[in-house]
Each structure stands twice: as structure tokens, then as C-alpha cells.
Amino acid sequence: MHNRKRNRLNEFDYRQGYWYFVTICVKGMNTYFGRIEKAKMILNEYGKIVEEKLLWLKEQYIYVDIDCHVIMPNHIHAVIIIDPTGVGTSRDLSLQTKIKSLSELVGAFKTVSSKQIHQNGLTQFKWQRSFYDRIIRNEKELYRIRKYIEENPLRWEIGKGFTENLEL
């Protein structure tokens, strides 16, 4: 039996108040969310659903915020903040709020986005199993990740151009 490599740190509680850099990919890396044009991501209807449902996380869960994100043709990058300090305060009307782990939040996002994409006609759509994450440990790292996210469409375009030039 094949043992799957675990992507999360053992013994780490992913409900803690941290900033997380997350990458979530489409199964088979199919380009379903739009196209890159002049170093800008042009979202199609499915890309717009993905962005809407990513931002839905911060509306649905009072302790979640999205610092920055980019929807790419076949994956997304986001900095997800879990801040449990507001839970149980006057801002949180439900005193029984259970903090979800990063995996549970990504799972909720995948579920609601997949459902909406299927309802809009792309019935073969699937997310890749699991996701990649990095716990952001300091401001310097956060700055580098924000820059990486911001420049991702440009890197996609440069990489595509390089590959096309190799085929000439």
C-alpha cells in the first residue's frame, strides 16, 4: 500500500493564530480559470467563482482573513490569516464558535467552489487532492510571499514564452 507524503507539520495546531501561504491546484493542472494577458490574469466565469469563494472564507468565518491572493489559470496562491483572538467577543455573536484548522478551511473552500463550478456547467472540474502550505514566520518572509503572489502572472507569461521559443 502506498503511503502518501504528509504536507502538514506533525504536532502543529493549524487552528493557531498564524499567517499561512497556501497553494491549491486544479487536478491535472487543467487551465480552467482564465488566461494571462500582458502579465495580468483575466478571470473567466470559473475563475471569478474561485475568487468569490476564496473571499467567502473571511465572510463565513469571523477569525479568517485573506491578506492577498492570485487566481492563476490552474491554481491559486493566497495568504490566509487565522486569528482566533476575536472569537467570543462582541464581534462574534456565537460564543460557541469552533475554530477550524487550515485544512478544514481549505476543504470548505474547495467544496463550495467545486459545487458552484459544477452548477455553472464545468462538471468535470476537480481540485487536486490536498494543498501546499507554508507557515509565514516573519515580515521579511511575508513581503517575499506577497511579491511572489503579485508577480505570479508575469512569471507564468515569461515561462510560457520561454517554452514556446524553445519549440521554434
Give the model confidence (pLDDT) of 132-162 as tens digits: 999 999 999 999 999 999 999 999 988 764 4
What pLDDT score was predicted for residue 167? Answer: 40
Query: How far is Cα 149 from Cα 168, in angstroms, rounded to an integer?
Result: 30
> Residue 36 — very low, low, confident or very high, per pLDDT cuts 50/70/90?
very high
Domain boundaries, the chain: 19-163
pLDDT of residue 89: 57
pLDDT score, position 161: 43
Inter-residue long-range contacts of 143-150, CB under 8 Å, 24+ positions, other chains counted: 145/21, 145/79, 146/67, 146/68, 146/79, 148/77, 149/68, 149/69, 149/70, 149/77, 149/78, 149/79, 150/68, 150/70
Record the pTM: 0.85
| 3-state percent helix, strand, coil for the chain, nearest multiple of 5 | 40, 25, 35
Interior angle at CA 94, CA 88 and CA 95, nearest 5: 40
SS3 23: strand
CATH code of the region 19-163: 3.30.70.1290
Mean pLDDT of the chain: 87
DSSP SS3 for 94? coil
